[in-house]
Structure 1
Amino acid sequence: MIQRGVDRQAIFRETEDYVNFLGRLRDAARQFKVAIHAYVLMTNHIHLLATPSDAEGLARMMQWVGRYYVPYFNQKYGRVGTLWQGRYKAVVIDTERYFMLCSCYIDQNPVRGGITSTAGEYPWSSYLHHVGVKSDPLVTDHALYWALGNTPFDREAAYREMSEQALTSAQASQLMEATNKGWPLGSDKFKAGLEKQGNLRVRPARRGRPFKQLPDPAEEAVEPVVKK
């Protein structure tokens, strides 16, 4: 899931802003039963990897966070109006194939953005939790993270090694395209299963053939970003 600031403007300016947002997000995730597995707060956007307990959980969580964070931000900086660039964008992922890739992609965002030279230098992501530097109460470890090793040390070391292996440009492009367009991320079999379950268009229509307009996947049943 990605949520951007309006016109790509900053949604965090000071340390207090990051802390405030994380507190709101933690409370909302608990209230609406959304398990957050990975996150990063960048200056003008956020990424989340999460498993909602129901189809409405993710939307309700983000609405609740915005209801409290936006007034705080506007009052502090003397601004009015929306802070977000429309509704967040979310996609379903094929967990077995893409979960760890997405988690590492999120945690490495500050490095790709040129903000830090290593993920461990950035305090506003789940990376430090995943490699055992600090426990983050916002993060719920996924079963696939636990499968990385039999002990905390083994899991943390495995995640560090995995995260430091740079994504190929093709992998990064695939993740970003899926997120920006709202298409599920997975095999053709996985996408066909989603289409059958929800009667939704989960991939681009073929050129030259009319396609009946169906609900936008980012607005309807594909809000959960992790497919169990």
Structure 2
Amino acid sequence: MARLPRLTLADQPHHVIQRGNNRQAIFVDNADREMLLGLLGENAQRLGIALHAYVLMDNHFHLLATPSTAHALPQWMQAIGRRYVRYFNQRHGRTGTLWEGRYRSTLIQADRYLLNCMAYMDQNPVRAGIAAEAGDYPWSSHAHYAGQRHDKLLTPHSLYWTLGNTPFAREAAYAELVRAGVPAAEQAALTEATLHGWAAGDPEFLNSLQKATERRVLKARPGRPSAARKSLP
């Protein structure tokens, strides 16, 4: 079966996952992590991408970003991937691939999923057992939104500003959102959509989205497609 093109649209937030080949480590030390963050920021500015959130794990990373054009996100990931692999191989005396194939991504409905997607990302180190709390892990955007440090790489999404009328109120509300956790069903929905490249949203959003692209936004139903099927259920 031919591989579907990625679903990437301008001015919509996208959740991205890139994994190491065979689950191998993609960072050896903090210098590697700093290099990747530098590449993220440098190329986001060049290509017109707003980076809302990130978390760097040992063998994969997550990003949440809004591209200003339909081509910006794949160009961003290609530029980062090539530069980082070249750097990593030279620095650590290795050859060959570093990534587990193509990056995975999904377009998400902001008002339904964006803040929970950020919390889901922040909780990765806790779920992995390498941090007791999200705020204990230094290689994510959590500290910025919880008021622990300023991260110049980040562009907060407008939904973050709705959490409170003052910086303190927003930071406290966001920290509580992360502490409360993301429901298991929503975690599963975000993971499934990202790994398979389908959009994440409610039926009304998905129907509207389908009108903006020829690429399917959801997995096709079993059986032969109907020519009369004009919209999603």
Task: State the TM-score, normalizing by the size of structure 1.
Answer: 0.89
Tell me if the contact between 2:206 and 2:217 (Cα under 8 Å) persists in the aligned partners.
Answer: yes
Task: Report deviation, 1:210.
Answer: 4.5
Matched residue type, 1:124: W
RMSD: 1.3
Identical counterparts, % of pairs? 52
Q: Please name the residue that 1:217 is paired with.
A: none
Q: Please name the residue that 2:11 is paired with.
A: none
Q: Please name the residue that 2:60 is paired with.
A: 45
Q: 2:84 aligns with which of 58, 69, 72?
A: 69
Q: Please name the residue that 2:30 is paired with.
A: 15
- Does 1:161 pair with 2:172? no
Unaligned stretches of 5+ residues in structure 1: 213-228
Task: Report deviation, 1:84.
Answer: 1.1
CA distance in 2, matches of 1:195, 1:211: 16
- Count of equivalent residues: 212
Runs (4 or more) in structure 1 with deviation over 6 Å come to none
CA distance in 1, matches of 2:46, 2:172: 32
Q: 2:150 aligns with which of 131, 135, 143?
A: 135
- Does 1:172 pair with 2:187? yes
Q: Please name the residue that 2:118 is paired with.
A: 103
Q: Please name the residue that 1:122 is paired with.
A: 137
Q: Please name the residue that 1:205 is paired with.
A: 220
Task: Report deviation, 1:69.
Answer: 1.3
Task: Report deviation, 1:187.
Answer: 0.7
Tell me if the contact between 2:119 and 2:181 (Cα under 8 Å) persists in the aligned partners.
Answer: no
CA distance in 2, matches of 1:199, 1:191: 13
| Bigger mean CA deviation after superposition, 130-139 or 196-205 | 196-205
Task: Report deviation, 1:66.
Answer: 2.0
Task: Report deviation, 1:113.
Answer: 1.3
CA distance in 2, matches of 1:59, 1:208: 32
